[in-house]
Structure 1
Amino acid sequence: MDIVFMILLGFPVLSMIVGMVGYYLFKNILVSPLVVFLTTLVATFTVFNDSFLVWVFVYTCLAFLSGLVVKIFKENKGAI
């Protein structure tokens, strides 16, 4: 698999899935972005080079935003 494809499509989708599933499992919006941050930070220094550090913050924000969207939808569903 091409590394550019993984960075631009695979990892963002995976981080958003982790954000959604993490909110359902832990009922906390910050746990899954923390897991994504730590995992991608370790991968930056072991698998990729230092230029991947920008993507660490992008994937963390995506995980946070996807967890936030799930939280908002879940709260709105309970209000109906």
Structure 2
Amino acid sequence: MVLVGFPILSIIAGILGYFFFRNLFVSPIFVFLSALVATFTVFNDSFLLWVFVYTCLAFLSGLGIKIFKENKGPI
């Protein structure tokens, strides 16, 4: 889950977050907060490193969609 499932969910959240909110920072903040809560409720403290990785993945996927959309034009 940590190496495949959660990164895919973070990337999808970044893409959908940009499409719904037209803002790069909404979905990474959501991913950060939800993973941070999961760190202290479900997982242990070593999961904290992955919180930052998933946040970066969500931001980079939203940024990639934004750049792609600007170069291609309206969808």
By the TM > 0.5 criterion, same fold?
Answer: yes
Instruction: List aligned pairs for 1:54-69, cutoff 5 A.
Output: 54-69=49-64
Query: How many residue pairs get matched?
Result: 74
Structure 1: unaligned runs, 5 residues or longer? 1-5
Percent identical pairs in the alignment equals 73
Within 5 A, what are the aligned runs for 1:19-30?
19-30=14-25
**Aligned counterpart in structure 2 of residue 18 of structure 1, from 13, 32, 48:** 13
Q: CA–CA distance in 2 between the matches of 1:78 and 1:21? A: 18
Q: Which runs of 4+ in 1 moved over 6 A?
A: none
Alignment gaps of 5+ in structure 2:
none
TM-score by length of 2: 0.97
TM-score (norm 1): 0.91
Higher Cα Rg, which structure = 1
Higher helix share: 1
